Chains A and B, each alone.
Chain A
Amino acid sequence: MSDAESGARDEARSASEAPLRLAGRLALLLAAIGRAVAEGELDRRMFVKSLYETGVRSLPIVVLTALFTGGIMVVQAAPIVERYGAHGLLGWGAGFGTLREIGPLLTALMISGRVGANNTAELGTMVVTEQLDALRALAIDPVGFLIAPRFLAIVTTLLLATLFADALALVGAAYVGAALLGVDPAVFYTGLTSGLLGFGDVAHGLVKSVVFGVVIALSSCHYGLATTGGAPGVGRSVNAAVVVSAAGVFLCDFFVSFLIA
């Protein structure tokens, strides 16, 4: 077995065997980020730059998944809607699932794979090429300069992307509903706003997206910073970050749904 394989296995094992230790490390990182922000160490220019990069990177993938997600909801609902003639409830059905669950969850998973993985790879490369030590050698705090901006950029991007994806998914659902079931978009819109759905459903999804953003941002930064062992080490870190982000997102989804349902 190659070193890389056994390394990846060690990483996977340590990720599964020591969830408490991992949670502790992530909490410490969050505290360090909070302190850097509170003390005004956050580098605003790097934040704007990170926000731009994560935003631009996420946009195409969010548009694509959101439109299709909305469409899929309608395709799945179609037989029931047809059988019971519940055309007026299509908007509610698509909206309920999208706003509370599918919108935040799928957007988070897409952004984890796109932005989170990229963040881990970049930070990991900087660590193994001593660029992080070089920052410290210039008396520049890497948390304020690199980590906090990236953390905030990922959390902000995911929140905004979820809002955007919610809207796009409903547009997608409305169009597929019109094309497939002949539901007039106006009827769809009424189903959406007739009172069965409220601001609470949107908020429910947005709270989740912030929690998911924190999970993805923290784990991608953590694994980037913890990288050792050159290029194979960067690969292992990206791997671990993606796995832990996805697992963390599902775990938090369950608990957040449970707590604020």
Chain B
Amino acid sequence: MISFREVSKRFGTRTVLDRVTFDVPRGAISFVIGASGAGKSVLIKHVTGFVRPDAGEIWLDDLEVSRLGERELASVRKRCALVFQHATLFDSQSCLENVALPLEKHGRGRTGAEIRARARALLARVHMEPFADRYPSELGEGMKKRVAIARALALDPEYVLFDEPTTGLDPVNARRVDRLIQTLSREGGVTSLVVSHDLTSIFGIADRIVMLYKGRVRLIGTPDDFRQSDDPVVRQFVRGEAEGPMDA
């Protein structure tokens, strides 16, 4: 389980997170939703120590990650993968090499051939195997993102944090990524925390949804709770309406 307890974070004078508290239960697919700039990326980067809270605690099972140093975080990061919002592939390496890198560095595979075969299988899971030998600069944003997802899954993590995995993908590949997240959770027991504002994803695969608004948790519940909410902010967001109480 991932637990956020009273987490607050400011940048300069701007409060991005204000006493955020919620749990991410094991094995389920939890979504974090909210407008752009609501602090969703900042929130999930806390889980693997890329951002430190000003106040509050973040727990991963029985580890308080907000207190760990860079070395201990390395072992946390093997168990808890992060897919960044912008695909962060290494420019100087092909797609296959990008995916093979964590396998090589952490000794997952005895021979180079075995590692390459595993990397190919991972690329196949995101339908990017035909592009294995291409370089990131030759690919569009959506394709790079799918390779980044494959790379994040390389170490068989128990937890995966996805930051807007379907943004920039065509609808077919977006649904494929949704299905991949579902398979990971249903068949692999993976716990997923997904940042998204893709309504199809949210209402298609979420078990639980947390909505952030102005740095605070606005609502936690199931997709049905969100559909039936009479909070005007929640209603505006889940219906994708231009007019309403949400500013900016």
CB distance A130 to B77 under 8 Å?
no
| Smallest Cβ-Cβ distance to A144: which chain B residue | B105
| Smallest Cβ-Cβ distance to B71: which chain A residue | A141
Residues 102-140 of chain A, each 1 if its beta carbon lies under 8 Å from chain B, else 0: 000000000000000000000001100111011111111
Question: In this assembly, does B95 line the interface, its C-beta being within 8 Å of a C-beta of chain A?
Answer: no
Q: How many residues of A contact B (CB 8 A)?
A: 16
Distance in angstroms between the alpha carbons of A214 and B77 in the assembled complex: 32
| Smallest Cβ-Cβ distance to B151: which chain A residue | A138
CB distance A134 to B84 under 8 Å?
yes
Residues 27-52 of chain B, each 1 if its beta carbon lies under 8 Å from chain A, else 0: 00000000000000000000010100
Of B1-9, B85-93, B198-206, B233-241, which binds chain A?
A: B85-93
Distance in angstroms between the alpha carbons of A126 and B151 in the assembled complex: 17
Contacts of B88 in A (CB 8 A): 129-131, 133-134
Contacts of A126 in B (CB 8 A): 90-91
Question: In this assembly, does B25 line the interface, its C-beta being within 8 Å of a C-beta of chain A?
Answer: no
| Smallest Cβ-Cβ distance to A49: which chain B residue | B92
Question: In this assembly, does B74 line the interface, its C-beta being within 8 Å of a C-beta of chain A?
Answer: yes
Contacts of A138 in B (CB 8 A): 77, 101-102, 105, 151-152, 154-155
Distance in angstroms between the alpha carbons of A135 and B93 in the assembled complex: 13
Q: Pick the contact of B84: A133, A139, A140 (CB < 8 A).
A: A133
| Smallest Cβ-Cβ distance to A138: which chain B residue | B102
Question: In this assembly, does B78 line the interface, its C-beta being within 8 Å of a C-beta of chain A?
Answer: yes
Distance in angstroms between the alpha carbons of A184 and B235 in the assembled complex: 93
Q: Provided the pairs A137-B48, A137-B50, A139-B102 are in contact, do residues A129 and B74 lie with their beta carbons within 8 angstroms?
A: no
| Smallest Cβ-Cβ distance to B104: which chain A residue | A45
| Smallest Cβ-Cβ distance to A129: which chain B residue | B88
Identify the interface centre among A130, A134, A137: most chain B CB within 10 Å of its CB. A137
Identify the interface centre among A129, A131, A139: most chain B CB within 10 Å of its CB. A139
Q: Provided the pairs A129-B88, A130-B86 are in contact, do residues A137 and B105 lie with their beta carbons within 8 angstroms?
A: no
Determine the interface band of chain B, counting residues with CB < 8 A from chain A.
20 to 34
CB distance A134 to B90 under 8 Å?
yes
CB distance A137 to B86 under 8 Å?
no
Q: How far is the CB of B113 from chain A (nearest CB, A)?
A: 17
Distance in angstroms between the alpha carbons of A140 and B90 in the assembled complex: 13
Distance in angstroms between the alpha carbons of A125 and B89 in the assembled complex: 12
Question: In this assembly, does B110 line the interface, its C-beta being within 8 Å of a C-beta of chain A?
Answer: no
Q: How far is the CB of A254 from chain B (nearest CB, A)?
A: 37
Q: Provided the pairs A133-B88, A134-B90 are in contact, do residues A140 and B48 lie with their beta carbons within 8 angstroms?
A: no
Contacts of B105 in A (CB 8 A): 43, 138-140, 145
CB distance B101 to A140 under 8 Å?
yes
Distance in angstroms between the alpha carbons of A140 and B88 in the assembled complex: 14
| Smallest Cβ-Cβ distance to B50: which chain A residue | A133
Contacts of B228 in A (CB 8 A): none
Contacts of A145 in B (CB 8 A): 105
Identify the interface centre among B75, B88, B101, B148: most chain A CB within 10 Å of its CB. B88
CB distance A137 to B101 under 8 Å?
no
Given A125-B91, A140-B101, 11 more pairs with CB closer than 8 A: A126-B91, A135-B90, A136-B50, A137-B48, A137-B81, A137-B84, A138-B77, A138-B105, A138-B155, A139-B102, A145-B105
B residues adjacent to A (C-beta < 8 A): 48, 50, 70, 73-75, 77-78, 81-82, 84, 86, 88-91, 101-102, 105-106, 148, 151-152, 154-155
Closest 4 CB pairs of A and B: A134-B88, A138-B102, A139-B74, A139-B77
